[in-house]
Amino acid sequence: MFENAQKFNIGSFVTNSIQGDYVVNNVGKDEKREIFELYSRLAQNFDNEPYYSSRQEQNLRRLTEGTCKWLFEDPAFLQWRDDPGTGHPVLWAHGSPGSGKSTLCSQAIRSLADSPKKPTVAYHFCDFARQHKEVEILSMLACQLLDADSTAFADLPPLPISILSAAALQCKRADNVRNIVKHLVLRSPKEMVYFLLDGLDEELGQKGRWHDGICPVLQFLVQLAVEFPQHVRVWVSSQGRGEIKDQLFNFQSIDIVPFARDDIVLYLSKKVPELRGPTEADQKLFLHTLQNGAESSFIWARLMLEELSQRPTLSSMKEFIEAGFPRNLDDYYQKIFDRCPQHLRPLASMVFSLLVYAKRPLRFCELWEAVWCLSSKTKDILNPDDKPYESHLRDVFQPFIELVPIHSTEDKAETSDGLQFTCRIIHSTLKDFLVEHRSILCTDDFQFEEVHICPELAVKACLNYLLQSRFSDLLRKEGEQWHDISGTPVMNNRFLIYAAKYWDKHLDNVLDQDRQKELIPKVTAFVKSPNFWTVLQVQAIWVQAQFSSFHTFSDEGTKWLRRMLPWWFMKSDEGFRVWMQNRSFLRQWRYFLCCGICSGAAHTHTSPYTGQMDYIWTGALGPDHFLTERRSRVSSFALTTEESVVRGSCVFFTDQTSDSGSEAYTLRIKYTNLPANTGDAPLPLSTVVLKVTLECKSQTWELQDNTSPIMKNEQVLQVPASSCDFDLYVHDPSNPYAQTDRAPLAAFSSDGQTLRIGSKLFQRDLHGNFTPLPNIHSSNIVGGSRRTRYIEEVSRHGQFLAITSRTRLSSKELDRNFDDLHDDSDDELDVQEWNSDEDAMDSWVIKEEDSDESGQEFASDDDSLSEGSSVFSNQGRFDDDMINPWADYHLGSSDGSDSEGEEDGGGGSRWALGGGGLPIELDSSDSEEEEDSKEPPAFNRHLFREEDDEDWDGLPQYFSDQKTSRSKPRATIAVFDTTSGSSTCVFRKQIPLRCRIYASPPVFHPSKPLVVWPLGDGDILFVDYEKSTSFTRRLRPSTPFTRQISIQCTFSSCGQYMHIAALEGRRPDPKTIVKAEKHKAPLPPIHLALLTSTYRLSSKKTTRSPPSLIHRIRIDLKAVKSLNTRQLPFNLTWTKDYLYVAASWKLLQVWRVPLFSEVEATNTKEGDGNEAKCDDSQPVMAPEKTVFMPKTCTHRSVRFFPAVEGDAPVSARIVVGHEVSVVEDQPKGPRSLGPLFGTHPAVDVDTQKLEEEPTSTSSLFFEFPVVCYLDEEKNLGEWVDSMSRTKITENLGIGALDVRMEGMEKFNPDDDCELEPYYY
């Protein structure tokens, strides 16, 4: 970072020089606190266990005084340590196994730390029994550097903000920690920083350990030393293995073998006299014999001395000497195991098998429990009579296993009996020997399976332990401790945590394929048992980063999860199925399982619920999921009878829930007759339109309390793509969900009684089946143009049907080359499981009006004060808000013309099509050339605007699913009378739009011939479809710089009231957007709010008089980064007195919004026409308790239905809509599920079945809709004030439906502030 820097200033004093002097600032208290927090985040990477210091202490305890002194006289070492100008900043000390390399390294560390200059020292000892990943080693080094800096904070340069503010997840990335280490080195207050690495050869035993751990650390430190040789030194001590030599061949090295021989002589000369019994002459004999045999092996010499010290008599010592020492360590190991007593051999086999193949050093208590589990004759419950004696364990330990004290903050009450010690094999050479001589304990008295050193014993111990009956249900938390169902604290069962973390890794060691096949049923049974649910709970509580996602430095775009199943198990059919289901489960609930322990930081919402697995909706995982039967505090179900939607079996899915929440409707579409694709490119759209038939499976589900949904009806429709204008809705046949400005391929109406597939409409008959609505697009009405066949929203009431759209298709978007491919007839529609009536497909006719145009009535500007609208008026309630639109100049939300404002038909051409008398209103600018002449902005509003108010032009980046269209938006509505099987158009209107809104369907009045449809930009259209009249009123946004995103309307069941809920988005400051894009920073969020208004309808002129505002409430919702207009982040449920607003999030967020003021609600119930002023201060309520939901709910429809009391009570419920994920196909390599489920590189699964499906460029994965039943008291608690209601500014007409003013000049504070004094 400071390479070649020459004397630059950052502050007020000089520190160490790095190719020049630089001056730095003092470090303040804030940075000291931040540094401590950084240390804490880094320490979490190695579980806050200072492994390096414990190994240092252990090595120094073995050091014999006088040994290793030669090092401090060696020229190479002195030059490396002291000469700042040396060209050899890296020193490699290598020697044979057991020659004292680790002890020598520890002595070097101590000498450096005790030197007068007190340099900064950081070190790491590799361990054959414990693998450390790269990020762990780097974090340990960084923490040592921070420890060294802690004594000199006042003299240190400041760390970059990016490092101090690094989040816990950032500190888990090796590249980030490397950067931290480099900055700490360069700001060190010492002139020299020493890094010492020992035992690198111990990382070469297992595949992958070298490259996953110490090798990249070595390369980084060597590069650092080469880059800053005057400031950084690196020591490496190891065996002279080729992999290590390849990294260090350019640097100085020391062969320690000659020096080790001299040190062994010194060591023996001090230790032999300590033997009790031998005379001085015998000691000389022993010393001479040991010196000749030891050569350069300290471990050999130490073991021989221990062997002599255990001899009970001098004669036995002499016999041992006369028999001759073992020639090498292998001979000695063989000799010791040969002496193992017969009765201890089975126990020794268990102990050494567990320690040799352990994934980390085992505690004594863990080893004891594991051996007990292997010894127990009863597997369901460990028999206390089968527990081995501690004394026998210690007998087996000698002389090859040592107990190392544990540095822990836990209660050490058990230290005296050895439970707070780690069991460690004395040397890596012993582990290598046991792996090569697995039958070392075998004799004629035992079968091979009884006493051999075997990795499967660890497998057996883990599985048998986890399958105990006391773990068949979830652990329970009592105070601060967790207990199993027998009441035993988990901390008394320490092997539980080890087995839960490593059971699958031990199974990885089973390499024999026949044995793997034998174990598959056992592994499957374990995973599907309730005990595995407890295993996941243990992992969530105690296994750090078990459910975290990881990023590789080389592939920034891919996320990885820790593998949780044996690699060979996943290659089997059953294993792969379990793996898929497990990944689906993790995708939904990984955020909850993390609960702060995985990321190292406590999450506000989930950390208090760590380990409480019953919050998970297990039933919603699907009927065949291996976790679906696990215990949960809620009843949840997936709306399916299948396990999952198999790839290729579905290309489109949609669903809808009835307004009461008692029924749900699903539709699944797949392609049939799809031609084979021989090339890599996807099939062209024209081929799909011409050849493909859409097989549409519709299902109706009855949602009964706390029971699995019942499928009441299933129907299959065969719809040719050419008959439903497929190309108007889908741009990419391989992905119907691709970004577009069109409506989805298919959708239900809000009540589920009407179905649209492309431009085809179907209505539900008395038997629950869908029958086609014929001739909606009759050519005598539309003149043969495909443009008018495009439909977005459908609503139905009795015999009347309203179809709408807000998209105007240009000629280029229509692509006239497709016109000949489309079949407009209904005859080819094949409906399975129901019979269509051929007579029902007769052409519909245009309704002839009985009265002339003069008989049409339109609402005048003062209709709100007419007799019809004032019968139930609440005098003075909102009189101050009934003002002219120019009062809100600061809002920037006044728009252009009232689309129907001119009763004389001005502003547009009035046509009579089809020879009938029905007036069809079109906007005058219908030229194809004009609409394609230039590129419009995202919302196209300025093309029509005369008021020049604020809008969101040029902000398409906030709408994630929208593709900017070149055509002007235009609203089209048509109302049909479908009496007697024919479709008669009774009203049709086209209106130019300033901007679009979304999820805003038309609604019918329950008893009057009135349709209300939100157009956009606050305009709401009121249609009297009996008299073919309409008028438009405007709903104002509640805050400045705001636009409506969605406006949903409904009528009360009595028909006296209309309710409107407007989802509003407040535009970010354009300057902040420009700044964010310039610096490639995240865009500022959109702030969402919901304005809910209630209106009283005129009793006499319901269809012609504008409603009167009687109640309004505004609530702040949340800020979002972007909006998916096909799935908005909030969903509404209307009841008689309340609106329930549910957020699409991973926690249930629902607001209960009153639809009436308190007085108005009382008057409604009592039928009193009291005109007293209402108290409008009711709070917006929310549930008191927390309900967790699947993570994918953040982009799924979430609807809340409250409980219904009475004679037939109904439970509260949450209905979560389907979810689809689009994943790019991987053309080659092992079976891949991409970022959705992840990829396991080691699994090479046969992909023949996948290749049989038609080739496409993307894969679609679906999650079925879900219903969850809630107990109000148990799950929701009391309804409390959500504190989300906000005050509405008075005197601005917020919520009032008024007439839009044309031609208004907007107030400009810069140009219009030519002021004069005001005196009176």
Listed as own residue / partner, the contacts of 265-269 with beta carbons closer than 8 Å and 24 or more positions apart are 265/291, 266/64, 266/66, 266/67, 267/64, 267/67, 267/298, 267/301, 268/294, 268/301, 268/305
Please state which of the ranges 753-757, 962-966, 1312-1316 shows the lowest mean pLDDT: 962-966
Q: How confident is the model at residue 1157 (pLDDT cuts 50, 70, 90)?
A: confident
- pLDDT averaged over the chain? 77
Provide mean pLDDT across the span 1243-1257. 35
Q: Give the model confidence (pLDDT) of 389-404 as tens digits.
A: 988 888 888 888 888 8
Please state which of the ranges 125-139, 359-373, 511-525, 1012-1026 shows the lowest mean pLDDT: 125-139
DSSP secondary structure of 610-668 = TT-GGGS-GGGG-TT-TTTTS--SSEEEES-SSS---TTS-SEEEEEE-TTSSEEEEEE
Return the beta strands (E) in 1231-1271 as ranges.
1258-1263, 1266-1270
Please state which of the ranges 257-266, 866-875, 1025-1034, 1286-1295 shows the lowest mean pLDDT: 866-875
Residue 711 has pLDDT above 70, yes or no: yes
Q: Give the model confidence (pLDDT) of 1114-1156 as tens digits.
A: 999 988 888 888 889 999 999 999 999 999 999 999 999 999 9
868 or 359: which carries more pLDDT confidence? 359
800 or 268: which carries more pLDDT confidence? 800
Residues 974 and 844 sit within 8 Å (Cβ to Cβ): no
Return the beta strands (E) in 101-150 as ranges.
120-125
Q: What are phi and psi of 376, to 5 degrees?
A: -70, 135
Q: Which two tokens stand for residue 573?
A: 């059919």
Residue 10, Cβ neighbours under 10 Å: how many?
12
State in Å, rounded, how far the first CA of the chain is from the last one.
70
Sign of the CA dihedral 764, 766, 772, 773? Answer: negative
Provide mean pLDDT across the span 719-730. 90
Q: Which two tokens stand for residue 730?
A: 């889908």
Q: Give the model confidence (pLDDT) of 23-65 as tens digits.
A: 333 444 455 666 677 777 777 767 666 677 778 887 888 888 8
Percent share of the chain, pLDDT over 70: 74
Contacts of 1246 (CB under 8 A, 6+ apart): 1231
Tokens 């202490």 -> residue: 57
Give the closest residue to 1115 by CA, choosing from 1095, 1094, 1141: 1141
pLDDT at 604: 59
d(CA 333, CA 399): 10
Provide mean pLDDT across the span 673-690. 79
d(CA 537, CA 528): 15
Residues 682 and 1255 sit within 8 Å (Cβ to Cβ): yes
Residue 632 has pLDDT above 70, yes or no: yes
Residues 81 and 233 sit within 8 Å (Cβ to Cβ): yes
Residue 712 has pLDDT above 90, yes or no: yes
Residue 1062, Cβ neighbours under 10 Å: how many?
28
pLDDT at 557: 62
Residue 1232 has pLDDT above 50, yes or no: no
Residue 915 has pLDDT above 80, yes or no: no
pLDDT at 887: 31
What is the pTM (predicted TM-score) of this model? Answer: 0.77
Tokens 């209660």 -> residue: 411
Residue 637 has pLDDT above 90, yes or no: yes
pLDDT at 1040: 85
Q: What separation in angstroms does the CA of 1213 have from each of 638, 1048, 1142, 1208?
A: 13, 22, 12, 15
Q: Which two tokens stand for residue 1170?
A: 């009291």
290 or 542: which carries more pLDDT confidence? 542
Please state which of the ranges 724-728, 952-956, 983-987, 1245-1249 shows the lowest mean pLDDT: 1245-1249
Residue 200 has pLDDT above 90, yes or no: no
